[in-house]
Structure 1
Amino acid sequence: MKLYIAEKPSLARAIAEVMPKPQQKAEGMITLPNGDCISWCIGHLLEQAEPDHYDEQYKKWRLEHLPIAPDVWQLKPKKGTSKQLSILKKLIKKADQIVHAGDPDREGQLLVDEVINHAGISQTKRQQVQRCLINDLNPSAVKQALADLRSNQDFVSLSTSALARSRADWLYGMNMTRAYTIQGQQAGYQGVLSVGRVQTPLLGLVVRRDLDIENFVSKPFYEVLAHLQTHSNETFTAKWLPSDACLPYQDEQGRVLVKGLAEKVVEKIHQQPAKVISNKQEKKRQAAPLPFSLSSLQIEAAKRFAMSASQVLASCQKLYEEYKLITYPRSDCRHLPAEQLKQASAIGQVLLQNLPQQQAHIEQANWQQKSRCWNDKKVTAHHAIIPTLKTYAADKLGASERKLYELIALQYLAQFFPDFEYQNQTIMLDIKGGQFCAKTKATLALGWKQLLSKPKQQAEVNLPVVKVGEILTCDHGELVEKNTQPPEHFTDATLLAAMTGISRYVIDADLRKILKDTDGLGTEATRASIIELLFKRGFLQRSGKQITATLVGKALILSLPEASTRPDMTAHWEYQLEKICQKEASYQHFMSQLLSQLNQLIEQAKHMPSSALSQLKDITPKKKPFRQYKRKTSTAKKPSRTKLKSSNQ
């Protein structure tokens, strides 16, 4: 008997749809005519056992117990999943061949692997497990995936990486949460102060931004504009570029802070000749933006529709599972396999039916054009989010689903449009020894921008035609006084952008260099839930689009060691986890480093000043205390002499 194990029931149904009929449905499984069987997980069926499962004394939260780290890791059935887990274990033991059909990502790999391992089958049988990677739930795509099975052994490193992250999160979050909650209680606060390797640096970003805004002192700065006139009485303006001699009077961003200096320049250039030093005109092209990953889609939807990250993910899951209108949504990839280009024209025909309001644009598409998005080398287990070959009736979708589907479709359609073409013109002038610059950008051809960009509100201004060496006249100078502005509060879009481009906030220069643009806090699948988690725990709050930290969130960050509140640590984790995926680093090395670091952090927590959390004494917690160290929350460990062992590693 061949057993197909899907990550969730919707995927199991999609597999069954392309299998021979008649089929027999039973509790937790679907049996095929030849005796093969399809079953499923319901997300994670297993989770890390809680500390008191290892030792009863850990039911009470005490500083002297910390750090806690298992010698032998144990999993337990998640609440409400025992029946399905039992069904799967029986089927796994009975099966002659197993096909792993978890979602095509790190978490999906571990999710099914840990159930297979938990069933206690032989090593030989585990090595014979096959892997099915399904990105699209439509029948043709599912058939193709089932015909292209690979050995599950090819994905061991992916599973190991996910396992390392899961255990590290448990260790870090559980121990740090207990340590700071106990210290909070001693200071008079009766809520749980949860700490996690992703949630806490994210909260730290918001707290530091809030403090920057609170402490910001606006300062005036000055610019000088030269109002110029040509021999044919055409006029334009050019901006003064301060020389190196002005550096003592400028801030780190090159803004002139001394009004008297700018006033002297205005006076100096009045009714003076202006010599054209250079006049550059450059025609440039800009390719269409790549199709969406989940994070890039969430950022764009937040900007356009003010949708939260969790709303986008929920709607995308419906579009994928229920309507089958888009490919796998939890993707961190923005490229497509070259083979997919063969479906482009057919997808175009589907878009004509699904998006009749875009008919004129769809008919302009050149379906033979191959953009930079088709790159097999940049596609891993999953590819960018794009429309499928499924048609639908517009009245069947909710408003959010309609908006997101059209956004995804237009981003895909843009791959078949010409580049955006524009011309940059830059005129450099010398006026009484000072340099001035005039710039414009003129559109030559909209190309793909006609699909994705809003029309400009103002007409573009062209600079006059002038020659190098030509002498113009500076009619007068103008002093422009401006004020420095504080940074803006985070929004859903900017907070997601910060999570995906976390290297911008990394302090360690060496680490910042090695992080790729795709590295970040959390994963595509977890970022939305992490943001919402901070709201549920009372650490963040919303005011319109603005996201700010609460007093509790701020106090927690200010009481923690800086290393725990900065993204450097978790960015380094993600870098190491990716190296495990690529078989360039080991699980053991990653965990030993983590445990050593955790020991130091717990010692710091034990000896923190009693005043660190005293401002929370009279604050009522948002919720009753609850366990905070489940998956994707935490980390912890025993003294360095403790050896980590694993029952399935």
Structure 2
Amino acid sequence: MSTLIVAEKPSVALRIAMALSNNTQKRLNLNGVSYYEMDEGKERIYVAAAVGHLFTIMQSGSKRDYPVLDVKWTASWEVNKNSYFTKKYLDVFKMLAQRSDSYINACDFDIEGTVIGTNIIKFLGGDTTKARRMKFSTTTIPDLKAAYANLMPLDLQNFYAGEARHMLDWLWGINLSRALSSALAGTKFTRPLSIGRVQGPTLALLAKRELEISKFVPKPYWLVLTLVKDTEFSNTKGEIFDGKIAKHALDATNAHLKNGIVEEVESTEQLVRPYPPFDLTALQLEASRVLRMDPSATLATAQTLYERAYISYPRTSSQKLPPTLGLSKVIGELAKNPAYQDLAGKLISERRFRPNEGMKVDEAHPAIYPTGVMPKNLTDVEGKLYDLIVKRFIACFAAYAKVAKMKVVVNFGGEKYAANGSRTIERGWYDFYEFASAKEKALPEFKKGENVGASKAYMNELKTQPPRKYGKASLIAELERRVLGTKATRASIIDTLFKRGYIEGASIISVTSFGMSVYNALNDNANMIVNEETTRRLEEDMEQISENKKSMSEVVDEGKQMLLEALKVFDSNKKKIAEEMQKGISETEAPLGKCLKDGGDLVIRKSRLGKQFVGCTNYPKCTVTYSIPQNALVVATGKVCEFCHTPMVKVIRKGKGVFEIDLDPECVSRNKWKERQEAKRKEESEKITITTAKELKAGAVKKVQTPEKKMAEPSQKIKTLQNTVEAKPLAHIPVKKAAIKKEETEPSEKQMTIKKATRKAKPKISKKSTSAKAGTKGKSKK
């Protein structure tokens, strides 16, 4: 009997193989793709990895059909040339399926992981009703062993819910995007357009905030204040919107300025609960606030930490830490790390093993927590995020903080003034989580009935402020609150809006004029597309599939009917939509400026390879061209460079903010800009330090030493995201060897050896072995 285990990624496949074989697995490969083989009694086990989705949705029928309503699942490499590399991984599964009798889905335990693994099993001809599921929240060896020992039936309801989501997202996306593009057919607009089931409401949310801000009319108001014992007191009337009333209060106060009476002295003590452990959204918000990390970078980095068994599964909406996780053991392992031994040791000495939990629940996974496995060779970004997660986890076990609150009210001739103070009595969990603290404001001593005088009374005239714009992290939190999208897709939806040129900005998001025109066109003429109630209704229906309250076909059919209704309204108003959208095209499609050679217009062109560049409209007579950034929106500014006199353009890049440059790459202004950037990078690199908790306390700082040996480098995408993070000091995360029983410890890099395959392999299958010496590769045998 043979069993095939389907893992979601190669790194997880290796850890599963190591766990189930006690590190005696055989590593084989087909066309450069590794898979693992081991024996458990009379059973042979194969472990192979996907690389995300190996199957995708595509149109069933003629490509000219509109609207598209019939779809099918097919191999990703057959649909998208960028996914051709996945063919090798699918070939491995096909080969192993011929040798296997049963299947286990060991992909991430969420809807996406269920769809990835179940699709592979389904298309290999496996019986999904007999296939089994591994459920684990960490990739530590003990958790993987426990998951294999407690296999579950395949979670088919989640699979059906996931299928429905993929189908509806694809159907809404492809049809609405084609409709949007068709509205501008025959114009010079050539940029890709898209709108989708969640994209539309997200754009609407941002556009409505822009409109609120643009329509906001500031109103003046006054605060009447007094200074008593060098402490500022505010009139209890608060914000006064009538200047005459404010002036009257000030005059009445001045008439009794030296004859104030302390009417109230109130002192209370409050207990401040620790923050709950992180769910994904809370982690993205806090990483943005503390580390200035982009939400997409936070998720990518957390995923890497999870795959290396340092933290639990990050795509969770839970703030719960059940006792079954062995929390006291995790705290004990953290105490072996010099960076956390004092904090974790204090919890152990005080027997604090009950966490302060939040309200949010996720049936699939607990809150994000460190596994206790000693981290090795973390990058600066990984180290900072790991440090944030560990300290949040430890802090939720700590004692409540105690804060003294004080309120004093003074009466000056009938006008009452109040001052509030706050003082931390017991720091409690604040000592464990340096990223939070109570606001301290000391008040001088006052006694009830005491006569006091004010040194002065005065008025401050202020104006009401418009609503704040969203940042990426705050937008993700708002989408979660409105039940739009999923915890795993919200960041990518925002990134798509950046790519389409609908929004711009790094820390603060603004809607471009083109984005506003798209919103206005759809909101006025096809509101269903940007109405969040439509999307929320579908989200709730898909949730009911998971709960076995609705069938997949029922929800998909309902979604198709809603789509047809939206398209009918769109088509009937297509002319109005086109006119409204063209109002916003002027900025994005306007000539960038005049050609210095012959006075022609400089416009954006595309090469045969799809690369954008700037060229003259008098081509081929004029061959002037300029390079511009790829994957960015480039628009005119109406300005020219003072040095080279070429047009200045505005560059809008996803997550990189907005900046202006001239078109001449040899211009002296470019060199000056490069020098400033280089100086800034040098200054940033000198600031990057890693210190131990003790050194931080003592004020000592050490510079980072680049480790001689590193684990596999992060992908280019993760590197790019990581480069956006502002360098800040953090606690040192050292490598510490501890004498732990073999079955309780994680294998080190050097212990991750693979025994040479002894079974005769089929043609084209090479056998590889890994030397037991320092993890070096052995020679392959033909």
Establish whether TM, by shorter chain, passes 0.5. yes
Please name the residue that 1:258 is paired with.
242
Matches within 5 A, 1:332-343: 332-340=317-325, 342-343=326-327
Question: Match for 1:300: what amino acid?
Answer: E
Question: Match for 1:524: what amino acid?
Answer: K
Three-state SS of the structure 1 residue aligned to 2:428 is coil
Please name the residue that 2:3 is paired with.
2
Q: Distance in 1 between matches of 2:540 and 2:551?
A: 12
* Aligned equivalent of 1:284, options 250, 259, 270: 270
Change (3 A) 1:454 1:12: closer
Residues 220 and 461 of structure 2 are in contact (CA less than 8 Å); yes or no, is this contact kept in structure 1? yes
Please name the residue that 1:484 is paired with.
464
Matches within 5 A, 1:510-589: 520-542=483-505, 545-561=507-523, 562-589=527-554
Are 1:135 and 2:137 matched, yes or no? Answer: yes
TM-score, length-normalised on structure 1?
A: 0.80
CA positional deviation for 1:481: 1.2
Q: Percent identity?
A: 25
Question: Match for 1:23: what amino acid?
Answer: K
Q: Structure 2 unaligned segments of length 5 or more: list them.
A: 78-82, 590-603, 613-782
Residues 279 and 425 of structure 1 are in contact (CA less than 8 Å); yes or no, is this contact kept in structure 2? yes
Please name the residue that 1:494 is paired with.
474
Three-state SS of the structure 1 residue aligned to 2:396 is helix
Please name the residue that 1:330 is paired with.
315
Question: Match for 2:375: what amino acid?
Answer: Y
TM-score, length-normalised on structure 2?
A: 0.67
* Aligned equivalent of 1:95, options 79, 100, 106: 100
Change (3 A) 1:173 1:376: closer
Are 1:41 and 2:50 matched, yes or no? Answer: yes
Residues 138 and 389 of structure 1 are in contact (CA less than 8 Å); yes or no, is this contact kept in structure 2? no
Q: Which structure shows the bigger proportion of residues in helix conformation?
A: 1
Matches within 5 A, 1:433-472: 436-453=417-434, 460-462=441-443, 464-467=445-448, 470=449, 472=451
Q: Distance in 1 between matches of 2:10 and 2:513?
A: 42
Q: Distance in 2 between matches of 1:219 and 1:464?
A: 37
Q: Distance in 1 between matches of 2:438 and 2:399?
A: 23
Residues 295 and 332 of structure 1 are in contact (CA less than 8 Å); yes or no, is this contact kept in structure 2? yes
* Aligned equivalent of 2:26, options 23, 27, 50: 23
Higher RCO, 1 vs 2 (CA within 8 Å, ≥6 residues apart) = 1
CA positional deviation for 1:399: 0.8
Please name the residue that 1:120 is paired with.
125
Deviates more, 1:26-35 or 1:291-300: 26-35
Please name the residue that 2:368 is paired with.
385
Deviates more, 1:362-371 or 1:534-543: 362-371
| Partner deviation per Cα, 1:44-75 (whole Å, 9 max, x = no partner) | 111001x3x422433xxxxxx23x211x6443
Change (3 A) 1:376 1:196: closer
Are 1:425 and 2:406 matched, yes or no? Answer: yes
CA positional deviation for 1:172: 1.0
* Aligned equivalent of 1:302, options 281, 288, 309: 288
CA positional deviation for 1:161: 1.7
Q: Distance in 1 between matches of 2:585 and 2:532?
A: 29
Three-state SS of the structure 1 residue aligned to 2:579 is coil
Question: Match for 1:384: what amino acid?
Answer: A
Q: Distance in 2 between matches of 1:434 and 1:576?
A: 57
Q: Distance in 2 between matches of 1:279 and 1:489?
A: 39
Matches within 5 A, 1:147-226: 147-152=149-154, 155-186=155-186, 188-226=188-226
Change (3 A) 1:256 1:451: same
Change (3 A) 1:376 1:345: farther
Residues 262 and 452 of structure 2 are in contact (CA less than 8 Å); yes or no, is this contact kept in structure 1? no
| Partner deviation per Cα, 1:546-589 (whole Å, 9 max, x = no partner) | 22222322221121134433433333333333333233444344
Question: Match for 1:261: what amino acid?
Answer: I
Q: Distance in 2 between matches of 1:399 and 1:82?
A: 34
Residues 210 and 489 of structure 1 are in contact (CA less than 8 Å); yes or no, is this contact kept in structure 2? yes
Change (3 A) 1:578 1:22: closer
Please name the residue that 1:363 is paired with.
345
* Aligned equivalent of 1:240, options 221, 224, 235: 235
Q: Distance in 2 between matches of 1:87 and 1:140?
A: 27
Q: Distance in 1 between matches of 2:413 and 2:533?
A: 49
Q: Distance in 1 between matches of 2:550 and 2:411?
A: 57
CA positional deviation for 1:431: 5.7
Three-state SS of the structure 2 residue aligned to 1:57 is coil
CA RMSD of aligned residues (A): 3.1
CA positional deviation for 1:611: 1.5
Are 1:604 and 2:607 matched, yes or no? Answer: no
CA positional deviation for 1:31: 1.8
Q: Distance in 2 between matches of 1:377 and 1:499?
A: 16
Please name the residue that 1:85 is paired with.
90
* Aligned equivalent of 2:146, options 136, 144, 160: 144
Q: Structure 1 unaligned segments of length 5 or more: list them.
A: 59-64, 229-233, 243-253, 504-519, 627-649
Residues 422 and 439 of structure 2 are in contact (CA less than 8 Å); yes or no, is this contact kept in structure 1? no
Q: Distance in 2 between matches of 1:318 and 1:195?
A: 31
Q: Distance in 2 between matches of 1:582 and 1:360?
A: 45
CA positional deviation for 1:150: 1.3
Change (3 A) 1:546 1:455: closer
Residues 314 and 368 of structure 2 are in contact (CA less than 8 Å); yes or no, is this contact kept in structure 1? yes
Q: Distance in 1 between matches of 2:311 and 2:605?
A: 38
Change (3 A) 1:336 1:541: same
- How many residues matched? 569
Matches within 5 A, 1:629-644: none
Change (3 A) 1:572 1:262: farther
Residues 538 and 622 of structure 1 are in contact (CA less than 8 Å); yes or no, is this contact kept in structure 2? no
Residues 138 and 309 of structure 2 are in contact (CA less than 8 Å); yes or no, is this contact kept in structure 1? yes
Q: Distance in 1 between matches of 2:605 and 2:218?
A: 35
Are 1:54 and 2:61 matched, yes or no? Answer: yes
